[in-house]
Amino acid sequence: MSTLLNSRRFRNVAIQAGFVVIILVVVVSAVIIGRQNLQAQGATSGFAFLHRATGFELGFSLIETGPFDSFGRFLLAGLLNTIFLGMIGIVLANVVGLTVAVLRTANNGALNAIGTMYIETFRNIPMILQALFWYALLTSLPAPKQAYHLLDLAFFSSRGLYLPGLNVTGAAAAIFFLLLAAGVVASVCFSISRRFKSMPNVRRSRIRWTVLAAGVLLGIVALAYGRVPDTPVLSIPELRGLNIRDGVRIPPELASLAIAMAVYGGAFIAEVIRAGFISVGKGQVEAAHALGLAPWHVFSRVRLPLAIRAVLPTLINQYVWLFKATTLGIAVGFADFFAVVSVSISQAGQTLELIGILMLGFLVMNNIIAFVLNRVNKAIALKGTQLRV
Amino acid sequence: MTDVAVSISHMNKYYGGFHALKDVNLEVEKGERIVVCGPSGSGKSTLIRCINRLEEHQEGSINVLGTELNDDVANIDIIRREVGMVFQHFNLFPHLTVLENCTLAPMLARKISQADAEKSAMMFLERVRIPEQAEKFPGELSGGQQQRVAIARALCMKPEILLFDEPTSALDPEMISEVLDVMVGLASDGMTMICVTHEMGFARQVADRVIFMDHGEIVEEAAPGQFFEAPKNERTKEFLRQILSH
């Protein structure tokens, strides 16, 4: 017996088994106690409410929703809004982050100062305040009748930003963006995948562009199918009466959150990317200069690829974090996933189920982000041992 | 025109208050092989790094292949395309394959098509006897192999002049000769070479002139026979005693 207890193998198995049992006991008893308490209060549990009509409306939705639609559809709309805002916010934050990181690492005192001032200002103000600030700013723009406009094509008013668009259905637009994204992702995956490295470069680049073009073309086909009949192709906003008609309206709720994510998230991403630039070996940059590469090529072919490789794991962290910041939508009245769940809780009363759906939704979305980017990280990681000088 | 590859006159370089290079005068003809040696901190690396503007000189003039090296960015680009450099720590691009390391600059800075760049890269990789590693990444090669790739990468730009900055001093002893062999081969093909190195055997074998530097000055300049057998300056004698004593 004592020899069994002393066996390392046995101890490992015993500890793990004990751990699993404890977790099972905790989970099962939580469910049982929860059910008993709910029954004692006379509350019904379960997911039947998902099919009930909500009775409220959403301020912004990518799919059509109305008070007679079900909670299920509203939750889907909220989820889509969160993904939509998250994608816009993360992309913009990257643009801001890269720009500020370049400013801060430039060989120019004035640019460094601008970058540093940016970071120290926007990193240190809580994002909820920034969201409220941009919301206040956007909603205090003039009324539609006095809206600022650019060549009568784009209008900036307190009711939102109006941009020229296409007369297509929302679904067609969504499919277009999905196909476009799929084309870009497939072409990037093809470029970095090891499996196709042995292919001649000319053929590889031809396939890469074909894949991308296919995504764009299929997207355009989707747009053509989704055209709203009996309308011009282009939808240009114009002032009619007291309001602006046609065009694409970007509501101030969405715009203020997207700006806040770009400005606040961008400050953090800038610092991460700056760390990447600093980690790039001086020798590699000197070698690139010595070969006669133009400054832009030294940056785009040597410094940036090496910097991104150095910090991609940290960047993934930032993206996941920034994605969760979409839950601030509730502060300015944007119907993101969290906001829809919150309102649904007060309307339907199914707190546990709705919180469960909310948590599961974020777990799945953030795990997808992390999974995909970790694969990318693995695919582009430097091979072999690196000499650090 | 002239057969002068590099002409440096009355060049001074300062790092803040530190006078790194003092009134350096040097003329290198096309096809000449120069070895620069001297104790560490003597300014020999700084000298050759001034030739392709990795370091900036403050006074005097540097003329490379008829182009004056000054603040003019266009001039710097012209010179860098014609002057290849091999570094102590190889400085290959770790995210690119060996072949991509060799084709990057010809394609971007010389606007050569990918097919042509790859063809010529394979030719130079064969010349440094490493064509079978073309698809590998630098991190997967030994130090000696990496340095030979670095030489091939510099050669792919078809430079007029090659600068070597202590190319063997970061290598394990058994890998030094494979790199030196390649360098001897280049020398016999008539490449203009300026090498900072402590490989005195290499200097004896291929150098047309050996330059000894100390405290930022060129102290002695002589053909290798005379340099090793009858150095004139006391500091040169002391240096040679130290590095040849064992």
- How do residues A145-178 score in pLDDT, each as one tens digit? 777 777 777 778 777 788 777 777 777 777 888 8
Model confidence at B114, pLDDT cuts 50, 70, 90, reads confident
* More confident: A48 or B159: B159
Nearest neighbour of A292 by CB, restricted to B90, B105, B137: B105
What integer pLDDT is reported at residue A194 of this predicted model?
65
Model pLDDT for residues B182-224, shown as the tens digit of each residue = 999 999 998 999 999 989 999 999 999 999 999 999 999 999 9
CB–CB contact A286 B91 (8 Å): yes
Nearest neighbour of A284 by CB, restricted to B91, B136, B141: B91
What integer pLDDT is reported at residue A379 of this predicted model?
83
Distance CA B172, CA A292 (A): 30
CB–CB contact A292 B80 (8 Å): yes
Partners of A306 on chain B (C-beta within 8 Å) are: 93-95
A161 vs chain B: nearest CA distance in angstroms? 42
What is the maximal distance between C-alpha atoms in chain B? 55
Side chain identity at A235, as an amino acid letter? S
Global pTM? 0.85
Phi, psi of A20 (to 5 degrees): -60, -45
What integer pLDDT is reported at residue A225 of this predicted model?
78
Distance CA B192, CA B194 (A): 7
Chain mean pLDDT for chain B: 92
Model pLDDT for residues A307-347, shown as the tens digit of each residue = 999 999 999 999 999 999 999 988 888 888 999 999 888 88
Distinct helix (H) and strand (E) counts, chain B: 9, 10
Partners of B171 on chain A (C-beta within 8 Å) are: none
- The CA-to-CA distance between both ends of chain A, in Å, stands at 55
Residue A285: closest C-alpha in chain B: B91
Distance CA A125, CA A133 (A): 11
Give the DSSP H or E segment for B24.
strand B18-29
What integer pLDDT is reported at residue A198 of this predicted model?
67
B67 vs chain A: nearest CA distance in angstroms? 15
What integer pLDDT is reported at residue A153 of this predicted model?
73
Task: Point out the residues of chain A with pLDDT beneath 50.
Answer: none
Distance CA B87, CA B166 (A): 7
Nearest neighbour of B77 by CB, restricted to A283, A288, A292: A292
A378 vs chain B: nearest CA distance in angstroms? 13
Interface test with B, best of A192, A196, A198, A291 (most B CBs within 10 A): A291
A73-87, A165-179, B5-19, B148-162: range with lowest mean pLDDT: A165-179
Model confidence at B118, pLDDT cuts 50, 70, 90, reads very high
What integer pLDDT is reported at residue A247 of this predicted model?
73
What integer pLDDT is reported at residue A389 of this predicted model?
60
Q: Which positions ≥6 away from A167 have C-beta within 8 Å?
A: A227, A228, A231, A232, A233, A234, A235
Partners of A293 on chain B (C-beta within 8 Å) are: 104-105, 108-109
Joined tokens for residue A356: 């469960």
CB–CB contact A382 B137 (8 Å): yes
Interface check for B11 against chain A (CB to CB < 8 A): the answer is no
Q: Across residues B131-139, what is the average pLDDT? A: 92
Partners of A197 on chain B (C-beta within 8 Å) are: 97, 135
CB–CB contact A290 B135 (8 Å): no
Partners of B105 on chain A (C-beta within 8 Å) are: 288, 291-293
Model confidence at B120, pLDDT cuts 50, 70, 90, reads very high
Interface check for A378 against chain B (CB to CB < 8 A): the answer is no
Nearest neighbour of A284 by CB, restricted to B93, B115, B137: B93
What integer pLDDT is reported at residue A1 of this predicted model?
63
> Residue B2: pLDDT above 60?
no
- The CA-to-CA distance between both ends of chain B, in Å, stands at 46
B224 vs chain A: nearest CA distance in angstroms? 29
Interface check for A198 against chain B (CB to CB < 8 A): the answer is yes
Interface check for B55 against chain A (CB to CB < 8 A): the answer is no
Partners of B140 on chain A (C-beta within 8 Å) are: 383-384
Residue B141: closest C-alpha in chain A: A384
Nearest neighbour of A384 by CB, restricted to B52, B109, B137: B137
Joined tokens for residue A158: 């307190």
Asked if B165 and B49 touch (Cβ cutoff 8 Å), the reply is: yes
